[in-house]
Amino acid sequence: MAKTAKKGTWGRALLSLFGSILFIMTIRWASFEPYVIPSGSMIPNLLIHDFILVNKMAYGIRIPFTKKWLLNYDQPQRGEVVVFRSKDKDSYFLVKRVVGLPGDTLEFSKKGDMRLNGEVISFAANDEAQAWIMQFIDEYEKEEFAETYAIFGEETKEEPYLTIREKDIERSYQGPYEVPDGHMMVVGDNRDNSVDSRSYGFVPLENVLGRAMFIWMSCSETLEGAQNVCHPAHLRWNRIFKRVN
């Protein structure tokens, strides 16, 4: 009897363990998944070591481990920050902002202004916006940041978002980029320090995994030997649970 009871206990434990693992994998596959920002290409809206939660159901539900839709009820909109698979490597994920949809034409001037379908949508940020950005810059970097970058806003959606561009550098005109069917154009908010559609071309819409929702953890430094774990002494408390705009 004792052996039978013990086997039953182990069986229930294993079933519970695998059931929990399957549940977690299902949640990550179908609905929400965390990602960490590895570079500064999305400054000022996403900083290095921002940990974001991505809504994988924002545009539909996919067949597991494929790019095929089980149910597709929407597509990324201009201005949204999305996570997508690299065009060259399916296991490599990128985070950028959608600025162009099928049929759109985009241009980038020598000053850095973006033109969407013939209309300039860039504008200089006001003092309030600049102060908002500076609160997230480390004290010892504030002066260097202010000397290096100019802050601008863009309106590709109802709620404007902020971008930065380097001061006093020479740029070349970029464009026109005409977005083909089934694709989108993505760029980084740190316009002069981002590898994006201006380099690797348009991204297939089927490569999109989901929309960035909010920052659930953020830090200026991670633990040594554990790049995906924040150092408790270097948490950026004012960014935690901040919505991604």
Beta-carbon neighbour count of residue 6 at 10 Å? 10
Q: Which of 3, 6, 41, 87 is catalytic?
A: 41
Of residues 91, 73, 99, the one with CA closest to residue 198? 99
Task: Give me the residues paired with residue 34 across strands.
Answer: 53
Half-sphere exposure of 151 (CA within 13 A, CB side): 19
CA distance 232 to 240: 13
Among this protein's residues, is 96 annotated catalytic? yes
* Distance, CA of 206 to chain centre: 16
Structure tokens at 9: 């206990």
Beta-carbon neighbour count of residue 11 at 10 Å? 10
Please give the radius of gyration of the chain, using alpha carbons only, rounded to the nearest integer.
21
**208 with 74: CB under 8 angstroms?**
no
Task: Give me the residues paired with residue 217 across strands.
Answer: 51
Where does residue 56 rank: exposed (0-12), middle (13-18), buried (19+ CB within 10 A)? Answer: buried
CA distance 26 to 19: 10
* Distance, CA of 225 to chain centre: 24
Q: C-alpha angle with apex 218: 49 to 244, nearest 5 degrees?
A: 90
Q: Which of 20, 91, 96, 109 is catalytic?
A: 96
Among this protein's residues, is 39 annotated catalytic? no
- Would you please indicate which residues are annotated as catalytic (active-site) residues? 41, 96
